[in-house]
Chains A and B, each alone.
Chain A
Amino acid sequence: MLAISVMNGLVMGVIYALAALGVSLVVGIMNVINFAHGELYILAGYFSFLFASVLGLPVAPAMALAVALVFLFGLLIERLLIRPTYGNDMYSLILTFILSIVLQNAFLLIFGPYPNKPPLWVRGASDIFGLFSYGNQRLAALLSGAVLIAAVFLLIQKTWFGRIVRATSQDRGMAEWNGVNTTRLNMLSFGLGCALAAAAGVILSPVFPVTPTAGVPIALTAFVVVVLGGMGSLWGCVVGGLLLGLVENLGAAFVSSGYKNVFGFIILILVLLIRPAGLFGRAKL
């Protein structure tokens, strides 16, 4: 029981961390909160379902295509909805909130209220250290999520793009005076943030099917993780995501599954009481 809850917690934690990284990137660079983050997660799940289950593409290309399309959609959102609002954060908040409602209803219209599920990547289950048997699909989700998180860290810490991202998140004006085209950087990072939501979506949707409104709790959790970890801190997203995933699943197993979402908020309140800026609040990207 304990071991399985820990495994479930890790799987969910990695997905939370991935979704939160997307939010954190966009907040850190653009100071914009994308309320449609969860719907983009769902959109990628639907795409992946559409390409793999309906059109019959192999699983991997279907997922890659889904993430790429959501990335492009993200660029479009930035260009059409976010860019005209720079200078007033409230407008982008309202616009992305409207976008989330529009997307939810579009999903309902196109796919109906029923859960849809892309095919599993792998079947069967593995024996974990002789303790318990665990679904291969969940193991694959855990592994691919962890690899993606590592890739995001490499991108931010080691590449040109990452250096420019860090410089801009620390001092936007100074970055511009050093030649950074922040308009283009905004667009790219918003697209990347959406792509991270999409990656979380394609990884988890074979386990937890997508419905038109299933993105709401995912986005809420991602926001909780970002605040828990500290605004703009990438490590905060990872630690916060894992912490939340573990607490929710252990709480559900040993206290009551009815309170699953409450545990996250209890942790959030406790952390904020002690460290108001979040776990890694002062660190920058």
Chain B
Amino acid sequence: MLLEGRKISKRFGGVQALSEVDFHVEAGSITALIGPNGAGKTTLFNIVAGAIKPSSGQTVFEGREITGLPADEICRRGIARTFQIVRPFATMTCLENVLVAAVNRHPRRPRAALEPGARDLLAQVGLADLAGQEARHLNVVQKKLLELARALATEPRLLLLDEVLGGLNTQEILQAVEQIRRLRDRAGITILWIEHVMGAIMQAADRVIVLDQGRVLTAAPPREVVSDPRVIRAYLGE
């Protein structure tokens, strides 16, 4: 088990965003996190990534507790994330964006030693030609790819993807799903993935965790989940 959440609860004022959520992510899996809007998916991501602290409960990564650690420490432990709304460092070049992440992973390595690796990552996501381009000039798809390359430069063992497919067309979705699979198959990166595009989840995910109103409704392989009457009810109502 790579990541485990134990009885995680989070309260924002009068709103109980998560209540006693137990979940786990197997090493080497692609695990999807789905649920209707407001189910608590992003809150759970933020807790795992160290953006907010849970009101109670624990997160355990590779057998060590990481609850409440600062975001940069969690990054160094091997968890990276991308955002639903992309956040590149706009006035820096693509290469510099990736290098910022790489240099924090290897603070003692000389800069010249990091650049080939950074270029390689850009090539992997198909941005090799844009290495010297400032990030603000990229289109949305390219920005998403850049964010992915930057996350990979932190050399994560667990990658949190937050709705990476939003705004992509069918062709681009196929490519992105293929890319995500390759990350797992070739680089051995475990993936926890919030997504609304069910077709992609059916194709790529090994396991799906369904959240509803701050609770885990079920966690099962995708085929079982889509035929589960409780899940259908959560999305469509009675």
- Distance between A160 CB and nearest chain B CB, rounded to angstroms: 5
B60 within 8 A of A: no
By a CB distance below 8 angstroms, the chain A residues around B50 are 176
By a CB distance below 8 angstroms, the chain A residues around B58 are none
Q: Which residue of B lies closest to A178 (CB)?
A: B101
A164 interface neighbour in B49, B100, B154, Cβ under 8 Å: B100
In residues 199-213 of chain B, which contact A (Cβ within 8 Å)? none
- Flag B72-98 by CB within 8 Å of A: 1 or 0 each: 100110001101000101111000110
Q: Is the CB of B92 within 8 A of A179?
A: no
Question: What is the interface of chain B mostly: helix, strand, loop, or mixed?
Answer: helix
CA distance A181 to B89 in the complex (A): 17
B70 within 8 A of A: yes
Given contacts A163-B103, A175-B100, contact A181 B91 (CB under 8 A): no
CA distance A276 to B39 in the complex (A): 42
Q: Is the CB of A173 within 8 A of B71?
A: yes
A180 interface neighbour in B91, B92, B104, Cβ under 8 Å: B104
Q: Is the CB of B99 within 8 A of A178?
A: no
Identify which of A171, A179, A182, A183 gathers the most chain B CB atoms within 10 Å of its CB. Answer: A179
A167 within 8 A of B: yes
Q: Is the CB of B90 within 8 A of A284?
A: yes
B137 within 8 A of A: no
- Distance between B148 CB and nearest chain A CB, rounded to angstroms: 12
Q: Is the CB of B92 within 8 A of A182?
A: no
Q: Is the CB of B100 within 8 A of A163?
A: yes
A163 interface neighbour in B80, B99, B151, Cβ under 8 Å: B99
A31 within 8 A of B: no
A178 interface neighbour in B51, B70, B100, B111, Cβ under 8 Å: B100
Q: Is the CB of B92 within 8 A of A166?
A: yes
Q: Which residue of B lies closest to A169 (CB)?
A: B89
In residues 110-161 of chain B, which contact A (Cβ within 8 Å)? 111, 150-151, 153-154
Question: What is the interface of chain A mostly: helix, strand, loop, or mixed?
Answer: helix
Q: Is the CB of B92 within 8 A of A177?
A: no
- What total of chain A residues lie within 8 Å of the partner, measured CB to CB? 21
B196 within 8 A of A: no
B230 within 8 A of A: no
By a CB distance below 8 angstroms, the chain B residues around A283 are 91
Given contacts A170-B89, A171-B89, contact A180 B49 (CB under 8 A): no
CA distance A164 to B100 in the complex (A): 6
Q: Is the CB of B104 within 8 A of A179?
A: yes
- Distance between A271 CB and nearest chain B CB, rounded to angstroms: 22
In residues 68-92 of chain A, which contact B (Cβ within 8 Å)? none
- Distance between A121 CB and nearest chain B CB, rounded to angstroms: 35
By a CB distance below 8 angstroms, the chain A residues around B72 are 176-177, 179-182
- Distance between B82 CB and nearest chain A CB, rounded to angstroms: 9
CA distance A175 to B101 in the complex (A): 8
CA distance A182 to B101 in the complex (A): 13
A108 within 8 A of B: no
Q: Is the CB of A170 within 8 A of B100?
A: no
Given contacts A163-B99, A163-B103, A164-B104, contact A179 B87 (CB under 8 A): no
By a CB distance below 8 angstroms, the chain B residues around A98 are none
Identify which of B70, B81, B104 gathers the most chain A CB atoms within 10 Å of its CB. Answer: B104
CA distance A170 to B105 in the complex (A): 20
CA distance A284 to B96 in the complex (A): 15
Q: Is the CB of B70 within 8 A of A179?
A: no
- Flag B35-65 by CB within 8 Å of A: 1 or 0 each: 0000000000000011100000000000000
Q: Which residue of B lies closest to A183 (CB)?
A: B70
Q: Is the CB of A176 within 8 A of B103?
A: no
Identify which of A160, A167, A170, A173 gathers the most chain B CB atoms within 10 Å of its CB. Answer: A167
By a CB distance below 8 angstroms, the chain A residues around B51 are 173
- Flag A144-178 by CB within 8 Å of B: 1 or 0 each: 00000000000000001001101100110111111
16 residue pairs from A and B, CB less than 8 Å apart: A170-B91, A170-B92, A176-B72, A177-B75, A177-B81, A178-B80, A178-B101, A178-B153, A178-B154, A179-B72, A179-B101, A179-B104, A180-B100, A181-B104, A183-B70, A285-B91
Chain A contact residues, CB within 8 Å of chain B: 160, 163-164, 166-167, 170-171, 173-183, 283-285
Beyond known contacts A163-B96, A166-B92, A176-B75: 7 more, CB 8 A cutoff: A171-B89, A173-B87, A174-B89, A177-B71, A177-B80, A178-B151, A178-B153
